[in-house]
Amino acid sequence: MAIVFEITALILSGGQAQRMGGVDKGLQVYQGVSMARRLVDLVSPLCVDTVISANRNIKHYRALTRLVVSDVEPWQGIGPLGGIFSALESINSSHLLIVPCDTPCLSREALLKLLKSAQQAPDIVHYLESKSGRQPLHAVLPVNQLKQQLPDFLKNTEHFGVMKFYKTIGAESVYWEHDDELVNINHTEQLV
């Protein structure tokens, strides 16, 4: 019997954007469209559902997708793992595709390569890597392992590093040669 491989996408847009002066990054306009909208449009055709993790401007994000989650106690302000944790109850698919809101140049081809790798070894985390290094926030995670291991990891760690958590499940990088697609928009002058 074949394993059902269904994807829920989680767009991480809950950060403080300190390098961008504290604005809500996901709502910043890049090439005429908000960065969050660009990512919703990119991931939605590949997934059974799309969730946005956001901690402010919730009404604006709800206009983009039906489900918006915010960090929950006691994991507020710990970074991406807090956003992932907040989405756990909403996920009924076999896998979770995460992408950060601030990489608006990401391509469908990059995601398809990542998903193909995840289908071949569905019990571990698959994340993109490029010549500039690991891209752990572009990843596919197995939901069962995520639900079983993330709560304990958060309770028992002092460092909320994404790669540190991935090691508890097992992880494999997927090389993506188009490094320019993975550039983070961290400064207002990068918004074109």
Task: Identify whether the C-beta of residue 81 lies closer than 8 Å to the C-beta of residue 136.
Answer: no
Domain residue spans of the chain: 7-190
Span 43-57, pLDDT tens digits: 999 999 999 999 989
Tally of CB atoms within 10 A around 192: 9
Q: Which of 14-28, 158-172, 178-192 has the highest mean pLDDT?
A: 158-172
Task: Identify whether the C-beta of residue 94 lies closer than 8 Å to the C-beta of residue 49.
Answer: no
DSSP string, 84-117: HHHHGGG--SSEEEEEETT-TT--HHHHHHHHHH
Token duo for residue 130: 């490029």
Span 60-119, pLDDT tens digits: 999 999 999 999 989 888 989 999 999 999 999 999 999 999 999 999 999 999 999 999
Closest of 58, 77, 78 to residue 68, by C-alpha: 58
How sure is the predictor about 1, in pLDDT bands with cuts at 50, 70 and 90?
Answer: very low
Q: What topology is assigned to 7-190 in CATH? A: Spore Coat Polysaccharide Biosynthesis Protein SpsA; Chain A (3.90.550)
Task: Identify whether the C-beta of residue 51 lies closer than 8 Å to the C-beta of residue 69.
Answer: yes
Task: Identify whether the C-beta of residue 115 lies closer than 8 Å to the C-beta of residue 140.
Answer: yes
pTM exceeds 0.85? yes
List 56's β-bridge partners, or say none: none
List 98's β-bridge partners, or say none: 10, 139
Task: Identify whether the C-beta of residue 103 lies closer than 8 Å to the C-beta of residue 190.
Answer: no
Q: Measured at the alpha carbon of residue 16, what is the angle toward residues 19 and 163, in degrees to the nearest 5?
A: 90
